[in-house]
Structure 1
């Protein structure tokens, strides 16, 4: 017997940074003021003191740019989701370890999977709970379930961010690389007031093959206007859809 479940939630605002070929990127944001789109030479980090910006990798800069729109006061709990995280830092450290036999503790601390969430916490003085997840097949579902769970536990709003960067060439035979550092941040709520989207997450069975490519852009397509998207994790599938 297959048990079906359905969870409904509200997107209060969202922000997307997509790297552009060459330099800069495309920034798309949607909130009470409507959808806005602009080309930028770099993520907007004016809210971060210059000396602190130096520690931020290209991926962290994309995350901070999007989170600053979705959580400008840095007071919300955060769910960070990334399949590979700071993979370029990690790969560089592994190469250094193989060649030299030791690595910098400071460099290691910035390569771990919760490093970006930790930097956000420290640099924005946010003491709320934070989780860092590594989902299978680049699925957005684990982070959504965690955020929705926090809403059901009584949080008024929860910030979550999905982030990936381009993988080192070493992984090309096995993994399809994203096109440069990118991040999608959302502010979720449980009510309907001030919503830019009202969405439903529905369990859809358990016999599919994992689809990393389709899953990676599922939320983007939904926020762009598709009525529903399917997420296949391998052994478990979900439907994300707009609620009328």
Structure 2
């Protein structure tokens, strides 16, 4: 599979990181640690009552999406998350195990497209949105989905939001995921700035795909590979 597109804008949020300057500094560090420390800034765009009902991961995704919607005329959007509302789902399972009543809020907010729904509601924007999950390859599959959206007549800009939260400790090391919430949002359009193709190169990334992509994007890497479960993706950047 081969395709090309261009990145018009980006925004990312993680503990201790929110500004473009802070992310550029992070990208320049040689370390590949998955430990992100610090506070997560309070939302500037989500009403307080709504923010309180959201999981941390969804709040980051909605905040990033709203920020880019303010700057761009977005035609379609795709949200990707490996685990979605797993924290809330685990809370529901705990309540059921204790034979107690499930909170209506927890139940209604436990679906995978919660963040996407919150963004459109908060922004009062009815743009088409897709939510998907594809394991470790969720971000790359969202890229494929975004490229397909850009092939639709009249679609010029697509918003991609990749996010995840901290996985409950009960799932242990088997979850193979970072222990912090994060979000990476991109505004994509047709172009030849970046070319992506599937390759057989073996690679193991210590960071989620979207954070690996963001690091190379900020470093202006001319070529890099992002790993997945069964195959890998090679990116080339036009000079």
Per the alignment, do residues 235 and 60 of structure 1 end up closer, same or farther by CA in structure 2, a change over 3 Å counting? closer
Alignment pair present for 1:9 and 2:5? yes
CA distance in 2 between partners of 1:103 and 1:74 (Å): 39
- The residue number in structure 1 matching 2:109 is 110
* TM-score between both structures, scaled by the size of structure 1: 0.80
- The residue number in structure 1 matching 2:194 is 199
Per the alignment, do residues 75 and 122 of structure 1 end up closer, same or farther by CA in structure 2, a change over 3 Å counting? farther
Q: Given that residues 81 and 162 in structure 1 are in contact (C-alpha distance below 8 angstroms), is that contact kept between their aligned partners in structure 2?
A: yes
- The residue number in structure 1 matching 2:30 is none
Question: How large is the RMSD of aligned CA atoms in angstroms?
Answer: 2.8
CA distance in 2 between partners of 1:203 and 1:232 (Å): 10
The number of residues matched between the two structures is 224
Please identify which structure carries the higher strand content: 1
Higher normalized contact order (CA 8 Å, seq sep 6+, divided by chain length): 2
CA distance in 2 between partners of 1:40 and 1:157 (Å): 33
Q: Secondary structure at the match of 1:174?
A: helix
Render the CA deviation track for 1:25-62: whole Å, top value 9, x for unaligned: 211339xxxx8789995435232233332222211221
Per the alignment, do residues 212 and 89 of structure 1 end up closer, same or farther by CA in structure 2, a change over 3 Å counting? farther
- 4+ residue runs over 4 A deviation: 35-41
User: Per-residue deviation at 1:189?
Assistant: 1.1
CA distance in 1 between partners of 2:199 and 2:53 (Å): 42
Q: Structure 2 unaligned runs (5+)? A: 27-36
Q: Given that residues 53 and 105 in structure 2 are in contact (C-alpha distance below 8 angstroms), is that contact kept between their aligned partners in structure 1?
A: no
User: Per-residue deviation at 1:138?
Assistant: 4.2
* TM-score between both structures, scaled by the size of structure 2: 0.82
